[in-house]
Amino acid sequence: MVKKHLLLAEDDELLASLLEYRLKLAGFEVILAQDGKEVKEYLSKETPDIIVSDIMMPYFSGIELVDFLRNTLHSQIPVIVISTAGNEENVLSAFELGANDFIAKPVNPSELLVRVNRELNKA
Amino acid sequence: MYKVLSTYTGPLQWNTTTVPEDLLWYMTATFLFLTLAYLSSVFYFRNRINNKTSREAGRKKELAPMISKFLFYTEEDPLEARQEYVQLKIQIRQLLKDGLTRTVLSEVLRDLKKDVSGSARKELLNLYSDLGLQENAIKRLRSSKWQVLSGAILELTQMEIKEAYGLIKKHINHRRSVVRKQAQIATVSLKNEGINYFLDSNRYPISEWQQLKLLDVIRHLEGFEPPKFKNWLTSKNTDVVLFALRLIKYYKQNDAAKAIIRLVNHKNQHIRIEAIQCIREFNLQEAVDTLKKAFSKGNEEVKLLILDSIGLLGDLSDIHFLQNIANNSSTHIISGKALSVINTLKPETILPDEGIETTKEIINTAPQDKPENMKQKEKEALSVHLPKPDLPKNPEQWEDFLDPDFEDELIFSQCCLEEFRDLIQEIGEPLLKSGDPGTLPLDFLPLVISEAKEEIQETATPKQPTTENSSGPTYNCDYPLHAEERITREIEALLEIEIEGKPEQEEDDAFNLNFLPILVDDPGIPEEEDMGDPDLRSIEVIAETLRYKVPEAFDRADKPTENYSLQVPPEESFEAVKAIDWSAIASKNLEVSMEKKEKAVISGKLEDQEELYGFSIFQELFRTADTESKLILLDEVLAVGDEKEVYFLKTLSDDPSELVQKKASKILADLSKQLEQQKSKEEPVVVSGARVNEQAVPDVLFELSFEPEEDCFRDPDEDEPELIARRSKQPVEKKAENPGNFLGNFISLTHKILEKVYG
């Protein structure tokens, strides 16, 4: 069975490590990116099956990432954004630009996994 | 500059020649050394911090996957995974022997706790406890350094170490506010009973921010059952009392009414405000008197809050208090608030008077209404404008104005008028559409008056000049009516439907004999003479008697009106008319009319003749007929005409058609001859059993051409076949014998006209 490629863009190493471990346990091939530059570099070379991105990242925010994907690369890769609770404006902006789903911090790893699988099934 | 230098005179005045060279070198070497020492120390400490950071980062990277494996381990995992888990546990315990690793692991777990939720979070807390990381924090609780102590309390609070509750709660009265606040939050959050201990033991002020944080902590406690916070209303710490009041309000513990009401008089204004807020929240109406008493002692904020509360909880009895405040308060905000609260308790008691222009009421100068304005007028007319009690401008008079008795009267009158208005709107609206918009909707009243009365009023009785029309009272009140007067008038207008209450009206409505034209219309006889005529008076007496004795009269009635072509008043008047002894009246009227006729013939006036002989039916037909039809009708005049047509034919001399004029004059001559021939024959006429001379009694008042049928007087022994045979011949014979029968002739005339028109 071919593993699904998941790009996880999260600047918090601890949380990224925790989520990476959980997603790998679920059978995903996880690619970690700690800032927007790494995400751009990866997207210029590869095309993941799904992207899980924090909104607040150095160099390149999650909203800019969605905008870059939808309007520059014209890619329809599913994107799930992670944001702190109460940051409604950013979440709405991400949805307007084409984000597929949203999950709030503190993140429940099990919930994230469910949402990832749902988006992949839709695609 | 020179002056300044020259003035500088001291014991050591060095110059370049006098400074020792060794000293300079010595000082230079010293500064260089200090510089190097500083730079080297900075470099050393920087490297040390970097090393520590890098070591911590390295440990974090090393520990993060281990923590992940611990968090997501399940007993359902395969055997290899379980073995790996056991080895990992041993490894991490060895690592924890290092202080740095313990510190790093604690930090990692605390950081992760903020970012994860659900089952992962619970696993984190369990891992922290399992690894015994709390022991390090508990040791630090003994530190004398406030920052260490505060950090330890924070760590234990975040990781929810309930065992530390006893150690932490001792610090809630720490002299360092940071430690104290941290300890207060920890005490409240670690155990549900922590709030009790805190409220009991706290000796320091509790800041607003701290109260909010504590409340937030309490709100998120799982399974928290709030204690009875009224127990702390007696605390000597005012902040505790204030916090308890807020908690009482938040948890809606309304079982401390007396204590809360008592706190309205607390010296602390914050407690007063909070107590008043509680009173409003719990709708404690018994607190109104206390609020009134506490009003004078409060600051502006408290006063406004008390006024608001009175508006919410008070009743009309509090208006006096509010008036006093409005009168005596020097603060505009307070007096304005008091007035607005009066209006809250009793709406529209205080009306705006600032900037209101006085307008004069225009009397009887209303312009002619345009059709588009009529609907609006009708709507306005439907609504009875109730008098609103205006409060006197002078506030000193308000007390009299708001006298309880007077209030009752006002309320009663208001209720009456509201009821009246509803009644008017229910029944008056459809009738108003055709009515005068300027009047009240009482136009339905004339419905109870008979048509006969209206006609009589139009023809015989001249209208009396009055401000009220026949359809009901008009309320074009050009002068201000007192409330009671208006109520009385409006209710009287309604009660006019009941005739019993109005004797004069009853006289008109019940029965009116003014329809008898002989009473008023003979110009030869003065009206007063008519009224004084004993014969006529007798008729009136009969009618007057019958008016009040209709039932008895009805029983004796012979129903004579069935055969009269008399204009009978409808409905209730009709029954009274039935009871009259018509034969006697007819005899008397005929005698009078004969006398009048003789007088009229002598005077020779055409108008008199018309009135005497009656109105010709041909006159009406001639109005709409063309010349050809008129000529045909003239032929019929000769066939069926009588004395009425004589006058009518004379009027045709002015007809625009010459043909009609000529034929009318011819017909007139023929008809006159015919009538003379008829006069020569004197035949008796039966009027309800009384025999009168037909020649002397023309149909002035009644058509008296009826006769009893022969069957009425037939011999009971007569054979039935003979009777049938006679009846079959009777109509034809009767028509031939009695050409003067008006009804029959009129029908035949109508048939002839129809034949002419439709061929």
pLDDT digits (tens, 9 = 90+) for A42-70: 998 989 999 999 999 998 889 999 999 99
pLDDT at residue B759, rounded to an integer: 55
And the tokens for B100?
């740095």
pLDDT at residue B92, rounded to an integer: 86
Percent of chain B with pLDDT over 70: 55
Touching check for B480 and chain A: CB below 8 Å?
Answer: no
Choose the most confident range, by mean pLDDT, from A68-82, A83-97, B463-477.
Answer: A68-82
Touching check for A111 and chain B: CB below 8 Å?
Answer: yes
Distance from the Cα of B210 to chain A's closest Cα (Å) equals: 23
The answer to whether residue B715 scores a pLDDT higher than 90 is no
Inter-chain contact B64–A18, Cβ cutoff 8 Å? yes
Task: Using pLDDT thresholds of 50, 70 and 90, give the confidence band for residue B743.
Answer: low
Task: Using pLDDT thresholds of 50, 70 and 90, give the confidence band for residue B614.
Answer: low
Distance from the Cα of A74 to chain B's closest Cα (Å) equals: 32
Inter-chain contact A106–B67, Cβ cutoff 8 Å? no
* Under 8 Å between Cβ of B173 and B203: yes
Query: Which of A18, A23, A112 to mutate to probe the B interface, most B CBs <10 Å?
Result: A18
Dihedral, CA of residue B22, residue B26, residue B28 and residue B33, to nearest 10: 160
Could you tell me which residues come within 8 angstroms of residue B473 by beta carbon, excluding any fewer than 6 positions away?
B440, B442, B489, B492, B493
- Which region, left, alpha or beta, applies to residue B228 given φ > 0 means left and ψ of -120 to 50 means alpha? beta
Touching check for B118 and chain A: CB below 8 Å?
Answer: yes
Q: In whole angstroms, give the CA distance from residue B470 to residue B467.
A: 10
Distance from the Cα of B190 to chain A's closest Cα (Å) equals: 21
Region of poorest pLDDT, from B1-15, B610-624, B679-693: B679-693
* Under 8 Å between Cβ of B683 and B694: yes
The partner residue sitting opposite A110, judged by closest CB among B69, B115, B119, is B119
User: Which residues from chain A sit within 8 angstroms of residue B64, using beta carbons?
Assistant: 13-14, 17-18
In angstroms, the Cα distances linking A117 to A19, A121, B114, B129, B663 are 14, 6, 25, 34, 116
Inter-chain contact A106–B119, Cβ cutoff 8 Å? no
Distance from the Cα of A17 to chain B's closest Cα (Å) equals: 7
Phi, psi values for residue A55, rounded to 5°: -75, -45
Closest Cα in chain A to B110: A14
Task: Using pLDDT thresholds of 50, 70 and 90, give the confidence band for residue A31.
Answer: very high
**Mean pLDDT over all residues of chain A?**
91
Whole-complex ipTM: 0.90
- A 10 A CB-CB count for B546 gives 22
3-state secondary structure of A23: helix
Q: In whole angstroms, give the CA distance from residue B618 to residue B68.
A: 122
Mean pLDDT, residues B553-574 = 42
pLDDT at residue B512, rounded to an integer: 46
Mean pLDDT, residues B62-73 = 87
Closest Cα in chain B to A21: B68
The partner residue sitting opposite B72, judged by closest CB among A12, A21, A108, is A21
CA A105 to chain centre: 13
* Under 8 Å between Cβ of B391 and B398: yes
Distance from the Cα of B52 to chain A's closest Cα (Å) equals: 18
**Mean pLDDT over all residues of chain B?**
70
The partner residue sitting opposite B71, judged by closest CB among A12, A18, A105, is A18
Mean pLDDT, residues B349-356 = 77
Q: In whole angstroms, give the CA distance from residue B531 to residue B540.
A: 9
Query: Which of B62, B115, B121, B220 to mutate to probe the A interface, most A CBs <10 Å?
Result: B115
- The secondary element (H helix, E strand) that includes residue A101 is strand A101-105
User: Which residues from chain B sit within 8 angstroms of residue A55, using beta carbons?
Assistant: none
pLDDT at residue B479, rounded to an integer: 42
Closest Cα in chain A to B111: A14
Distance from the Cα of A106 to chain B's closest Cα (Å) equals: 4
Q: In whole angstroms, give the CA distance from residue B750 to residue B620.
A: 13
Handedness of CA A92, A94, A98, A101 (dihedral sign): negative
Residues 295-334 of B with CB under 8 A from A: none
Task: Using pLDDT thresholds of 50, 70 and 90, give the confidence band for residue B73.
Answer: confident
Touching check for B54 and chain A: CB below 8 Å?
Answer: no
Residues 594-623 of B with CB under 8 A from A: none
Q: In whole angstroms, give the CA distance from residue A30 to residue A48.
A: 9
Touching check for B489 and chain A: CB below 8 Å?
Answer: no
pLDDT at residue B521, rounded to an integer: 41
The answer to whether residue B212 scores a pLDDT higher than 80 is yes
Rg, Å, chain B Cα set: 58
Inter-chain contact B117–A106, Cβ cutoff 8 Å? yes
Q: Where does residue B192 rank: exposed (0-12), middle (13-18), buried (19+ CB within 10 A)?
A: middle
Mean pLDDT, residues B273-284 = 94
Task: Using pLDDT thresholds of 50, 70 and 90, give the confidence band for residue B663.
Answer: confident
Inter-chain contact A109–B65, Cβ cutoff 8 Å? no
- Of residues A113, A39, A74, the one with CA closest to residue B119: A113
User: Which residues from chain A sit within 8 angstroms of residue B118, using beta carbons?
Assistant: 108-111
Touching check for A12 and chain B: CB below 8 Å?
Answer: yes
* Under 8 Å between Cβ of A113 and A22: yes
Could you tell me which residues come within 8 angstroms of residue B313 by beta carbon, excluding any fewer than 6 positions away?
B279, B280, B283, B284, B285, B287, B288, B291
pLDDT at residue A64, rounded to an integer: 92
Q: In whole angstroms, give the CA distance from residue B369 to residue B381.
A: 14
Task: Output DSSP code: residue B170.
Answer: G
Touching check for B394 and chain A: CB below 8 Å?
Answer: no
Touching check for A24 and chain B: CB below 8 Å?
Answer: no
Closest Cα in chain B to A105: B115
The partner residue sitting opposite A111, judged by closest CB among B61, B111, B118, is B118
In angstroms, the Cα distances linking B468 to B368, B428, B471, B476, B601 are 20, 18, 8, 10, 44
pLDDT in tens, B292-332: 999 988 899 999 999 999 999 988 889 989 989 988 888 88
What is the Cβ-side half-sphere exposure of residue B192, based on CA atoms within 13 angstroms?
8
Q: Helix H segments across B72-140?
A: 79-95, 99-115, 119-130, 134-140
Percent of chain B with pLDDT over 90: 30
The answer to whether residue B530 scores a pLDDT higher than 80 is no
Query: Which of A8, A12, A17 to mutate to probe the B interface, most B CBs <10 Å?
Result: A17
Closest Cα in chain A to B71: A18
Q: In whole angstroms, give the CA distance from residue B460 to residue B522.
A: 12
Inter-chain contact B60–A21, Cβ cutoff 8 Å? no
Touching check for A18 and chain B: CB below 8 Å?
Answer: yes
User: Which residues from chain A sit within 8 angstroms of residue B71, using beta carbons?
Assistant: 18
Inter-chain contact A13–B69, Cβ cutoff 8 Å? no
Inter-chain contact B112–A22, Cβ cutoff 8 Å? no
Distance from the Cα of B120 to chain A's closest Cα (Å) equals: 7
Inter-chain contact B65–A17, Cβ cutoff 8 Å? yes
